[in-house]
Structure 1
Amino acid sequence: MSATRKALDNEAEEPTARQEAVLDAVLSLMVEEGDQLTMNAVARRASCSKETLYKWFGDRDGLLTATVRWQAARVRAGRYDGQNLDVAALRDSLKDFAANWLTVISSPTSIALNRLAIGHAASHKSNLGPIVLANGRFAIGERLRPVLEAGREAGLLDFDDPETAFRTFFGLVGRDVQIRLLLGDTLDMSAAEIERDAVRATDQFLALHGRKPSAPKA
Protein backbone atom coordinates (compact mmCIF):
# COMPACT_ATOMS: atom_id res chain seq x y z
CA MET A 1 0.00 0.00 0.00
CA SER A 2 1.46 3.40 -0.97
CA ALA A 3 1.93 6.17 1.57
CA THR A 4 -0.61 8.31 -0.25
CA ARG A 5 -3.15 5.49 -0.15
CA LYS A 6 -2.48 5.15 3.57
CA ALA A 7 -3.30 8.81 4.08
CA LEU A 8 -6.50 8.44 2.08
CA ASP A 9 -7.58 5.41 4.09
CA ASN A 10 -7.15 7.37 7.33
CA GLU A 11 -9.67 10.01 6.25
CA ALA A 12 -11.91 9.48 9.26
CA GLU A 13 -9.11 10.16 11.73
CA GLU A 14 -9.10 13.68 13.15
CA PRO A 15 -5.67 15.35 13.16
CA THR A 16 -4.03 16.02 16.50
CA ALA A 17 -3.31 19.59 17.59
CA ARG A 18 0.33 19.12 16.54
CA GLN A 19 -0.70 17.80 13.13
CA GLU A 20 -3.11 20.71 12.71
CA ALA A 21 -0.19 23.08 13.28
CA VAL A 22 1.72 21.30 10.51
CA LEU A 23 -1.23 21.57 8.12
CA ASP A 24 -1.61 25.27 8.90
CA ALA A 25 2.11 25.64 8.15
CA VAL A 26 1.56 24.01 4.75
CA LEU A 27 -1.23 26.45 3.96
CA SER A 28 0.90 29.42 5.02
CA LEU A 29 3.78 28.27 2.82
CA MET A 30 1.43 27.86 -0.15
CA VAL A 31 0.42 31.51 0.22
CA GLU A 32 4.03 32.69 0.57
CA GLU A 33 5.94 30.37 -1.77
CA GLY A 34 3.35 28.95 -4.13
CA ASP A 35 4.78 26.09 -6.14
CA GLN A 36 8.06 25.98 -4.21
CA LEU A 37 6.51 23.99 -1.35
CA THR A 38 8.83 21.22 -0.18
CA MET A 39 8.86 18.77 2.72
CA ASN A 40 12.03 20.49 3.98
CA ALA A 41 10.27 23.86 4.05
CA VAL A 42 7.28 22.40 5.88
CA ALA A 43 9.53 20.72 8.44
CA ARG A 44 11.36 23.99 9.10
CA ARG A 45 8.18 26.06 9.37
CA ALA A 46 6.43 23.54 11.62
CA SER A 47 9.56 22.88 13.72
CA CYS A 48 9.48 19.12 13.18
CA SER A 49 11.56 16.57 11.35
CA LYS A 50 10.94 15.26 7.84
CA GLU A 51 10.78 11.79 9.35
CA THR A 52 7.80 12.90 11.43
CA LEU A 53 6.05 14.26 8.33
CA TYR A 54 6.56 10.99 6.47
CA LYS A 55 5.37 9.01 9.49
CA TRP A 56 2.18 11.08 9.84
CA PHE A 57 1.27 11.76 6.23
CA GLY A 58 3.27 9.39 4.04
CA ASP A 59 4.59 11.08 0.92
CA ARG A 60 4.10 14.64 -0.36
CA ASP A 61 0.73 13.75 -1.90
CA GLY A 62 -0.37 12.38 1.46
CA LEU A 63 0.56 15.67 3.12
CA LEU A 64 -1.28 17.66 0.45
CA THR A 65 -4.34 15.41 0.81
CA ALA A 66 -4.42 15.95 4.57
CA THR A 67 -3.99 19.71 4.04
CA VAL A 68 -6.88 19.93 1.59
CA ARG A 69 -9.09 17.93 3.96
CA TRP A 70 -8.12 20.20 6.85
CA GLN A 71 -9.06 23.29 4.84
CA ALA A 72 -12.29 21.77 3.48
CA ALA A 73 -13.30 20.59 6.97
CA ARG A 74 -14.00 24.23 7.84
CA VAL A 75 -17.07 24.08 5.59
CA ARG A 76 -19.93 22.49 7.51
CA ALA A 77 -23.69 22.77 7.63
CA GLY A 78 -25.29 24.21 10.74
CA ARG A 79 -26.69 21.90 13.37
CA TYR A 80 -30.22 20.65 12.92
CA ASP A 81 -32.58 18.03 14.32
CA GLY A 82 -33.47 15.69 11.48
CA GLN A 83 -36.44 14.33 13.41
CA ASN A 84 -38.00 17.74 14.01
CA LEU A 85 -36.77 19.74 11.06
CA ASP A 86 -38.81 22.79 10.10
CA VAL A 87 -38.38 25.49 7.46
CA ALA A 88 -36.60 27.89 9.81
CA ALA A 89 -34.04 25.30 10.94
CA LEU A 90 -33.46 24.12 7.37
CA ARG A 91 -32.96 27.69 6.18
CA ASP A 92 -30.51 28.42 9.00
CA SER A 93 -28.51 25.27 8.25
CA LEU A 94 -28.26 26.06 4.53
CA LYS A 95 -27.40 29.69 5.24
CA ASP A 96 -24.67 28.72 7.70
CA PHE A 97 -23.20 26.32 5.15
CA ALA A 98 -23.25 29.00 2.45
CA ALA A 99 -21.60 31.63 4.68
CA ASN A 100 -19.04 29.09 5.87
CA TRP A 101 -18.13 28.08 2.33
CA LEU A 102 -17.84 31.67 1.08
CA THR A 103 -15.60 32.54 4.02
CA VAL A 104 -13.29 29.61 3.26
CA ILE A 105 -13.00 30.08 -0.51
CA SER A 106 -12.31 33.80 -0.16
CA SER A 107 -9.43 33.26 2.26
CA PRO A 108 -5.86 33.77 0.98
CA THR A 109 -5.04 30.15 1.81
CA SER A 110 -7.86 28.72 -0.31
CA ILE A 111 -7.07 31.06 -3.19
CA ALA A 112 -3.41 30.00 -3.14
CA LEU A 113 -4.31 26.32 -2.82
CA ASN A 114 -6.77 26.40 -5.71
CA ARG A 115 -4.41 28.35 -7.96
CA LEU A 116 -1.76 25.70 -7.40
CA ALA A 117 -4.24 22.89 -8.01
CA ILE A 118 -5.42 24.40 -11.30
CA GLY A 119 -1.85 24.85 -12.53
CA HIS A 120 -0.88 21.31 -11.56
CA ALA A 121 -4.01 19.84 -13.14
CA ALA A 122 -3.19 21.55 -16.44
CA SER A 123 0.46 20.46 -16.47
CA HIS A 124 -0.02 17.05 -14.79
CA LYS A 125 2.83 18.11 -12.53
CA SER A 126 1.36 16.36 -9.49
CA ASN A 127 -1.87 14.87 -8.12
CA LEU A 128 -2.89 18.12 -6.44
CA GLY A 129 -5.74 18.78 -8.88
CA PRO A 130 -7.51 15.45 -8.27
CA ILE A 131 -6.75 15.74 -4.53
CA VAL A 132 -8.47 19.13 -4.28
CA LEU A 133 -11.40 17.94 -6.38
CA ALA A 134 -11.97 14.77 -4.35
CA ASN A 135 -11.38 16.23 -0.89
CA GLY A 136 -12.76 19.70 -1.61
CA ARG A 137 -15.72 19.99 -3.94
CA PHE A 138 -16.88 16.35 -3.84
CA ALA A 139 -16.36 15.94 -0.09
CA ILE A 140 -18.23 19.17 0.62
CA GLY A 141 -21.10 17.96 -1.56
CA GLU A 142 -21.36 14.78 0.49
CA ARG A 143 -21.30 16.86 3.67
CA LEU A 144 -24.39 18.82 2.67
CA ARG A 145 -26.22 15.85 1.18
CA PRO A 146 -27.72 14.67 4.53
CA VAL A 147 -29.19 18.14 5.10
CA LEU A 148 -30.84 18.16 1.68
CA GLU A 149 -32.17 14.64 2.12
CA ALA A 150 -33.46 15.45 5.61
CA GLY A 151 -35.29 18.44 4.14
CA ARG A 152 -36.85 16.23 1.48
CA GLU A 153 -37.86 13.58 4.01
CA ALA A 154 -39.47 16.27 6.16
CA GLY A 155 -41.50 17.43 3.17
CA LEU A 156 -39.71 20.79 3.01
CA LEU A 157 -37.72 20.28 -0.19
CA ASP A 158 -38.67 18.84 -3.57
CA PHE A 159 -35.96 17.43 -5.84
CA ASP A 160 -35.19 14.17 -7.63
CA ASP A 161 -31.41 13.95 -7.33
CA PRO A 162 -29.42 15.25 -4.32
CA GLU A 163 -26.31 15.88 -6.42
CA THR A 164 -28.24 18.02 -8.89
CA ALA A 165 -29.87 19.91 -6.03
CA PHE A 166 -26.47 20.50 -4.45
CA ARG A 167 -25.02 21.80 -7.70
CA THR A 168 -27.88 24.27 -7.95
CA PHE A 169 -27.26 25.48 -4.40
CA PHE A 170 -23.49 25.56 -5.00
CA GLY A 171 -23.99 27.72 -8.06
CA LEU A 172 -26.33 30.13 -6.30
CA VAL A 173 -23.87 30.55 -3.43
CA GLY A 174 -20.65 30.78 -5.43
CA ARG A 175 -21.87 32.60 -8.55
CA ASP A 176 -18.68 34.00 -10.14
CA VAL A 177 -17.00 34.78 -6.82
CA GLN A 178 -14.36 32.05 -6.79
CA ILE A 179 -13.20 32.47 -10.39
CA ARG A 180 -12.91 36.24 -9.93
CA LEU A 181 -10.86 35.82 -6.76
CA LEU A 182 -8.60 33.27 -8.46
CA LEU A 183 -8.00 35.74 -11.28
CA GLY A 184 -7.02 38.50 -8.85
CA ASP A 185 -10.22 40.53 -8.68
CA THR A 186 -10.79 42.44 -5.45
CA LEU A 187 -14.25 41.78 -4.08
CA ASP A 188 -15.89 42.89 -0.88
CA MET A 189 -15.81 39.66 1.11
CA SER A 190 -16.50 41.19 4.49
CA ALA A 191 -18.50 39.20 7.04
CA ALA A 192 -21.53 41.40 6.40
CA GLU A 193 -21.35 40.93 2.61
CA ILE A 194 -20.86 37.17 2.97
CA GLU A 195 -23.91 37.00 5.24
CA ARG A 196 -26.02 38.89 2.70
CA ASP A 197 -24.85 36.61 -0.11
CA ALA A 198 -25.57 33.50 1.98
CA VAL A 199 -29.08 34.67 2.82
CA ARG A 200 -29.83 35.56 -0.80
CA ALA A 201 -28.55 32.22 -2.14
CA THR A 202 -30.49 30.25 0.47
CA ASP A 203 -33.73 32.07 -0.24
CA GLN A 204 -33.25 31.59 -3.98
CA PHE A 205 -32.63 27.87 -3.48
CA LEU A 206 -35.73 27.49 -1.32
CA ALA A 207 -37.76 29.36 -3.93
CA LEU A 208 -36.62 26.80 -6.51
CA HIS A 209 -36.76 23.61 -4.44
CA GLY A 210 -38.93 24.40 -1.45
CA ARG A 211 -42.04 22.23 -1.42
CA LYS A 212 -45.11 24.32 -2.00
CA PRO A 213 -47.97 23.78 0.47
CA SER A 214 -50.92 21.90 -0.94
CA ALA A 215 -53.90 24.03 -1.89
CA PRO A 216 -56.83 23.51 0.52
CA LYS A 217 -59.64 21.44 -0.82
CA ALA A 218 -62.85 23.24 -1.70
Structure 2
Amino acid sequence: MSAPRPEPARIVVLVSGSGTNLQALIDAAGDPAYGARIVAVGADRPDIEGLRRAERHGIETFVERVADHPDRAAWDAALAAAVAAHEPDLVVLAGFMKLTGPAFLARYGGRTVNTHPALSPSFPGMRGPQDALEYGVKVTGATLFVVDAGVDTGPIVAQVAVPVEDDDDVETLHERIKTSERAMLVEWVGRLAREPFTIDGRRIRFQPKELS
Protein backbone atom coordinates (compact mmCIF):
# COMPACT_ATOMS: atom_id res chain seq x y z
CA MET A 1 0.00 0.00 0.00
CA SER A 2 2.25 2.73 -1.26
CA ALA A 3 -0.15 5.41 -2.50
CA PRO A 4 -3.30 7.07 -1.16
CA ARG A 5 -6.49 5.42 -2.31
CA PRO A 6 -8.59 7.66 -4.59
CA GLU A 7 -11.74 5.73 -3.61
CA PRO A 8 -12.92 4.50 -0.21
CA ALA A 9 -11.11 1.33 0.83
CA ARG A 10 -13.13 -1.82 0.23
CA ILE A 11 -13.66 -3.79 3.44
CA VAL A 12 -15.01 -7.28 4.01
CA VAL A 13 -16.10 -7.98 7.59
CA LEU A 14 -16.32 -11.54 8.96
CA VAL A 15 -18.65 -12.26 11.89
CA SER A 16 -19.93 -15.18 13.94
CA GLY A 17 -22.53 -13.60 16.21
CA SER A 18 -24.57 -10.51 16.93
CA GLY A 19 -22.33 -8.11 15.04
CA THR A 20 -22.10 -5.20 17.48
CA ASN A 21 -18.61 -4.34 16.23
CA LEU A 22 -19.88 -4.69 12.68
CA GLN A 23 -22.65 -2.21 13.44
CA ALA A 24 -20.13 0.29 14.76
CA LEU A 25 -18.15 -0.05 11.53
CA ILE A 26 -21.29 0.30 9.41
CA ASP A 27 -22.21 3.48 11.28
CA ALA A 28 -18.71 4.92 10.88
CA ALA A 29 -18.55 4.05 7.18
CA GLY A 30 -21.71 6.08 6.62
CA ASP A 31 -19.53 9.19 6.85
CA PRO A 32 -17.66 9.72 3.56
CA ALA A 33 -14.72 11.12 5.51
CA TYR A 34 -14.19 7.72 7.14
CA GLY A 35 -12.61 6.50 3.92
CA ALA A 36 -13.96 2.95 3.90
CA ARG A 37 -16.90 1.09 2.43
CA ILE A 38 -18.09 -2.29 3.69
CA VAL A 39 -18.64 -4.26 0.50
CA ALA A 40 -19.60 -7.61 2.07
CA VAL A 41 -20.13 -9.39 5.37
CA GLY A 42 -19.30 -13.07 5.69
CA ALA A 43 -19.99 -15.60 8.42
CA ASP A 44 -19.16 -19.16 9.38
CA ARG A 45 -22.80 -19.93 10.19
CA PRO A 46 -26.20 -18.80 8.87
CA ASP A 47 -29.11 -17.13 10.63
CA ILE A 48 -27.14 -14.81 12.91
CA GLU A 49 -27.85 -11.21 13.80
CA GLY A 50 -24.57 -10.07 12.26
CA LEU A 51 -25.79 -11.14 8.82
CA ARG A 52 -29.19 -9.56 9.42
CA ARG A 53 -27.52 -6.28 10.35
CA ALA A 54 -25.67 -6.30 7.04
CA GLU A 55 -28.80 -7.15 5.07
CA ARG A 56 -30.74 -4.31 6.71
CA HIS A 57 -28.07 -1.94 5.41
CA GLY A 58 -28.09 -3.41 1.90
CA ILE A 59 -24.66 -5.03 2.28
CA GLU A 60 -23.99 -8.31 0.46
CA THR A 61 -23.55 -11.37 2.68
CA PHE A 62 -22.14 -14.87 2.34
CA VAL A 63 -21.77 -17.93 4.56
CA GLU A 64 -19.02 -20.55 4.57
CA ARG A 65 -19.71 -23.29 7.11
CA VAL A 66 -16.91 -25.63 8.09
CA ALA A 67 -19.41 -28.51 8.00
CA ASP A 68 -20.06 -27.91 4.30
CA HIS A 69 -16.46 -28.81 3.39
CA PRO A 70 -14.51 -32.06 3.62
CA ASP A 71 -11.92 -30.64 5.99
CA ARG A 72 -10.70 -27.44 7.59
CA ALA A 73 -8.20 -26.76 4.80
CA ALA A 74 -10.96 -26.92 2.17
CA TRP A 75 -13.08 -24.55 4.24
CA ASP A 76 -10.17 -22.14 4.59
CA ALA A 77 -9.63 -22.11 0.83
CA ALA A 78 -13.35 -21.59 0.21
CA LEU A 79 -13.45 -18.74 2.71
CA ALA A 80 -10.49 -17.09 1.00
CA ALA A 81 -12.20 -17.41 -2.38
CA ALA A 82 -15.49 -16.03 -1.05
CA VAL A 83 -13.71 -13.01 0.41
CA ALA A 84 -11.64 -12.51 -2.76
CA ALA A 85 -14.82 -12.30 -4.84
CA HIS A 86 -15.44 -8.90 -3.24
CA GLU A 87 -11.90 -7.59 -3.92
CA PRO A 88 -11.28 -6.09 -0.47
CA ASP A 89 -8.40 -3.83 0.46
CA LEU A 90 -8.82 -4.85 4.10
CA VAL A 91 -10.51 -7.74 5.93
CA VAL A 92 -11.82 -7.21 9.46
CA LEU A 93 -12.58 -10.11 11.79
CA ALA A 94 -15.30 -8.70 14.04
CA GLY A 95 -16.21 -11.43 16.48
CA PHE A 96 -15.31 -14.12 13.95
CA MET A 97 -14.76 -17.27 15.99
CA LYS A 98 -12.75 -19.36 13.55
CA LEU A 99 -9.01 -19.31 12.94
CA THR A 100 -8.04 -18.60 9.36
CA GLY A 101 -5.44 -20.88 7.79
CA PRO A 102 -2.66 -20.93 5.20
CA ALA A 103 -4.84 -20.46 2.11
CA PHE A 104 -6.54 -17.43 3.59
CA LEU A 105 -3.30 -15.90 4.86
CA ALA A 106 -1.64 -16.48 1.49
CA ARG A 107 -4.18 -14.06 0.00
CA TYR A 108 -4.90 -11.73 2.88
CA GLY A 109 -1.97 -11.97 5.26
CA GLY A 110 -0.95 -8.41 6.13
CA ARG A 111 -4.42 -7.12 5.23
CA THR A 112 -6.56 -8.84 7.88
CA VAL A 113 -7.07 -7.43 11.36
CA ASN A 114 -8.71 -8.78 14.49
CA THR A 115 -9.22 -7.69 18.08
CA HIS A 116 -8.39 -9.45 21.32
CA PRO A 117 -9.87 -8.51 24.73
CA ALA A 118 -6.53 -8.22 26.53
CA LEU A 119 -3.26 -6.33 26.19
CA SER A 120 -1.22 -8.67 24.00
CA PRO A 121 1.01 -10.54 24.44
CA SER A 122 -0.67 -11.17 27.81
CA PHE A 123 -3.61 -13.56 28.13
CA PRO A 124 -4.05 -14.91 24.58
CA GLY A 125 -6.93 -17.18 23.65
CA MET A 126 -10.61 -17.27 24.48
CA ARG A 127 -10.38 -16.39 28.20
CA GLY A 128 -8.60 -13.05 28.09
CA PRO A 129 -10.81 -11.12 30.56
CA GLN A 130 -11.13 -14.09 32.92
CA ASP A 131 -7.40 -14.78 32.87
CA ALA A 132 -6.63 -11.12 33.55
CA LEU A 133 -9.04 -11.07 36.49
CA GLU A 134 -7.71 -14.31 37.94
CA TYR A 135 -4.11 -13.11 37.61
CA GLY A 136 -4.96 -9.98 39.55
CA VAL A 137 -3.75 -7.35 37.09
CA LYS A 138 -4.83 -3.77 37.75
CA VAL A 139 -4.98 -2.82 34.07
CA THR A 140 -6.06 -4.89 31.11
CA GLY A 141 -7.57 -3.77 27.81
CA ALA A 142 -7.92 -4.66 24.15
CA THR A 143 -5.56 -5.11 21.21
CA LEU A 144 -6.03 -4.65 17.48
CA PHE A 145 -3.57 -6.78 15.54
CA VAL A 146 -2.74 -8.03 12.07
CA VAL A 147 -3.72 -11.68 11.80
CA ASP A 148 -0.93 -14.21 11.36
CA ALA A 149 -0.71 -17.99 11.74
CA GLY A 150 -0.72 -17.86 15.54
CA VAL A 151 -3.44 -17.22 18.12
CA ASP A 152 -3.57 -13.48 18.90
CA THR A 153 0.12 -13.19 18.03
CA GLY A 154 0.23 -10.87 15.01
CA PRO A 155 1.84 -7.42 14.79
CA ILE A 156 0.01 -4.92 17.01
CA VAL A 157 -1.81 -2.04 15.33
CA ALA A 158 -3.24 -0.41 18.47
CA GLN A 159 -4.05 -1.04 22.12
CA VAL A 160 -6.37 0.55 24.65
CA ALA A 161 -6.09 0.21 28.44
CA VAL A 162 -9.02 -0.64 30.71
CA PRO A 163 -8.62 -0.45 34.52
CA VAL A 164 -9.72 -3.46 36.55
CA GLU A 165 -12.08 -2.39 39.34
CA ASP A 166 -12.08 -4.06 42.76
CA ASP A 167 -15.67 -5.25 42.35
CA ASP A 168 -15.30 -6.51 38.77
CA ASP A 169 -16.40 -9.95 37.75
CA VAL A 170 -15.68 -11.44 34.34
CA GLU A 171 -18.90 -10.11 32.83
CA THR A 172 -18.55 -6.50 34.01
CA LEU A 173 -14.88 -6.37 33.06
CA HIS A 174 -15.51 -7.88 29.63
CA GLU A 175 -18.33 -5.43 28.92
CA ARG A 176 -16.07 -2.44 29.66
CA ILE A 177 -13.32 -3.96 27.53
CA LYS A 178 -15.76 -4.45 24.64
CA THR A 179 -16.82 -0.79 24.78
CA SER A 180 -13.20 0.39 24.53
CA GLU A 181 -12.38 -2.32 21.97
CA ARG A 182 -15.20 -1.16 19.69
CA ALA A 183 -14.06 2.47 19.74
CA MET A 184 -10.47 1.42 19.04
CA LEU A 185 -11.56 -0.82 16.17
CA VAL A 186 -13.54 1.94 14.48
CA GLU A 187 -10.78 4.52 14.88
CA TRP A 188 -7.95 2.35 13.59
CA VAL A 189 -9.78 0.56 10.79
CA GLY A 190 -10.54 4.04 9.49
CA ARG A 191 -6.89 4.98 9.67
CA LEU A 192 -5.81 1.76 7.97
CA ALA A 193 -8.36 2.50 5.25
CA ARG A 194 -7.29 6.11 4.70
CA GLU A 195 -3.53 6.00 5.15
CA PRO A 196 -0.95 3.86 3.34
CA PHE A 197 0.91 1.54 5.72
CA THR A 198 3.54 -1.14 5.70
CA ILE A 199 4.41 -3.95 8.11
CA ASP A 200 8.04 -3.88 9.16
CA GLY A 201 8.67 -6.94 11.30
CA ARG A 202 6.30 -6.47 14.22
CA ARG A 203 5.72 -2.76 13.57
CA ILE A 204 2.95 -1.12 11.61
CA ARG A 205 4.33 1.96 9.89
CA PHE A 206 2.08 4.61 8.37
CA GLN A 207 3.38 6.69 5.52
CA PRO A 208 3.99 10.31 6.61
CA LYS A 209 1.22 12.59 5.38
CA GLU A 210 3.63 14.88 3.56
CA LEU A 211 4.67 11.88 1.41
CA SER A 212 1.11 10.80 0.71
Give TM-score scaled by structure 1 length: 0.26
Give TM-score scaled by structure 2 length: 0.26
Structure with greater strand percent: 2
